[in-house]
Amino acid sequence: MTLTLPRRAEVPSEHTWDLASIYPALADWEADARALESALAELAAYSGRLAESPATLLDLLTRAQSLRVIAGRLYTYASMCFDVDTTDQAAAGLRDQAIGHYAHLGAALAFIEPELLALDPALIEAFLVEEPALRIYGHFFDNLRRRVAHIRSGEVERLLAQAQEPLSAPYSTYLMLAEGDLEFADAVGQQGHTRQVTTGSVDKLLQSSDRTLRRSAWQSYHDGFLAFKNTFGAIYAGSVRSDVFRARAHGHASALEASLFSVNIPQAVYNNVIEACNRYLPIWHRYWSVRRRALRLDRLESCDIFAPLAPAPYIPYAEGVELIIAAMAPLGDEYAAVARAGLSAERWVDIYPNRGKTSGAYSGGAYGTRPFILMNYDNSLVSVSTLAHELGHSMHTWHANRAQPSVYAGYSLFVAEVASNFNQALLRGHLLKRGVSRELEFAIIEEAMANFHRYLFLMPILSQFEQRMHERAEAGESLTADGMGTTLAELFMRGYGPAVYVDMARDGVVWAQFPHLYENFYVYQYASGIAAANALADMVLRDEPGARERYLRFLSAGGSVYPLDALRIAGIDMTSAEPMDRAFAVLEGFVKRLEALLA
């Protein structure tokens, strides 16, 4: 018997996120879209007039920001409709329209930055003195001056903005193939029973105690991507070349440089993260050996990475929410109350997997909407931890939206992964502090190691893969699926060491399974984020004076300061090696704890 997932129409509404809180009906979305497009023509009247008066400049910036908010709301609604059912062609069309509206808005606003940079800085300073309402844009102007060497003329910037729509095609194509069209053979267990393999169910299957089932599921999932490896390779090559094009169009030496420059991160910070992750690989080698012995296997394979070492606790969604809320107590009553409402009555969360639903989990939303969470909850401790992770993002958004105007409500990816991993660290601290059974302690350690595996092992490996692909494109070399597979498999061989068998073809196609790679140099920030998060959580759990208040100020800062400065508000200096060293010390502590349990 094969267990199948429900279709989207069969999912009870209480298990879904509340899309009506954004737009009660599609007609409302369409009305906003028409209003946005109508307003774009009016923006041209401001071109060439920015030096006219402080009032003119303020009016333009206010209008531009208002239109960005509408575009964000349009895209959020459309992408949420699509993500819960990637087979829904109407939703896919709506998402494409939203991307188009973003591109049209970008083109209409493209004249602003070049014209502002053409003004005498003294004039802007005089405007800030004359018009107090303009002073809120102080950080915006500072960041603009920082980027002056990489901003092109108004005509070129307008053309680049218009190019965003076709340049987004690789990612859209990837989603349609990976999340909508790709199908996998059923997994077969030791007793001959079958289980449906989907992007939403494979993680649960890999946590099965039945090695035959998890190996079958792992092979089925990877073989599904291998069957279309050349197509995926062409799609990803297109994305890489789009990154290189954008970087060169704005005068950057590389796509990596462009990504780091956009949020004012020195390349030394990136290098420190990758170097630390490679330097501490022996801790992982030690862990793989412990896991192999614990599972009593002659050889550990990739399908065994998440195999349970003890019976897994069954934690229904409502119970998981209670565990999370209790763990958030150190952050105060308001944080806990807002989180509880979001996870329950206000329906921030789309909870369970269904057919066609995108895999994994994320937190999303737009300025003025609720912060929404996509989950594929499976009643495991790992799912509870994932929910805590996404709640961290959502509460970061909630605090930033409340404290900041829309121009600063958004925050960079570099700080985004701090709040999420911070919540997971609080959850582990709460569970271990209250005293647990041996079985639950195993589960907590396994959850922690799964999380660290993703952020301090897998993501740094993917980042090194990403860097090599971009460097090849920048050197004019070809990008092929086979070359991608060989590169990644070799990185895995070094990462896993002698304790884990690497299947060159199947492990090598993992790059095709991560949409994160379509966001230029996103993945390394998971490692930097978990490092900062564990350091901050340690401060809060030890009740260090002022630690909670500093952390909440960090959440409320949003994008009003540069990312490294935001972390300094919380008490973390990511330009030093200390946060990464501390993160790996936490990792090693869990390995030692596991060794002690097994002894």
Active site residue 390: yes
CA separation for the pair 389, 363 (Å, rounded): 9
Is the distance from CB of 515 to CB of 401 less than 8 angstroms?
no
Is the distance from CB of 535 to CB of 229 less than 8 angstroms?
no
CA separation for the pair 266, 245 (Å, rounded): 21
Strand residues in 107-256 grouped as ranges (E): 187-188, 194-195
Tens digit of each residue's pLDDT (9 = 90 or more) over 400-450:
999 999 999 999 888 999 999 999 999 999 998 877 788 889 989 999 999
Tens digit of each residue's pLDDT (9 = 90 or more) over 503-549:
999 999 999 999 999 999 999 999 999 999 999 999 999 999 999 99
Tens digit of each residue's pLDDT (9 = 90 or more) over 31-74:
999 999 999 989 999 999 999 999 999 999 999 999 999 999 99
Q: pTM score, two decimals?
A: 0.85
Q: Which of 165, 390, 446, 466 is catalytic?
A: 390
> What does the buried/exposed string (b/e) look like for 97-131 if buried means 16 or more CB atoms within 10 Å of the residue's CB?
bbbbbbbbbbbbbbbbbbbbbeeeeeebeebbeee
CA separation for the pair 272, 581 (Å, rounded): 10
CA separation for the pair 585, 591 (Å, rounded): 10
- Name residues whose C-beta falls within 8 Å of residue 386's C-beta, 6 or more positions apart in sequence: 361, 375, 377
CA separation for the pair 348, 317 (Å, rounded): 14
Q: How many alpha carbons fall within 13 Å on the CB side of residue 534?
A: 22
CATH class of 171-227: mainly alpha
Could you tell me the residue ranges of all domains in the chain? Answer: 10-167, 171-227, 235-346+380-599
CATH architecture of 10-167: Up-down Bundle (1.20)
Give the residue ranges of DSSP H helices in 434-577: 438-453, 459-474, 481-496, 504-508, 524-541, 547-557, 563-570
Tens digit of each residue's pLDDT (9 = 90 or more) over 228-275:
999 999 999 999 999 999 999 999 999 999 999 999 999 999 999 999
For the domain spanning 235-346+380-599, the CATH number is 1.10.1370.20
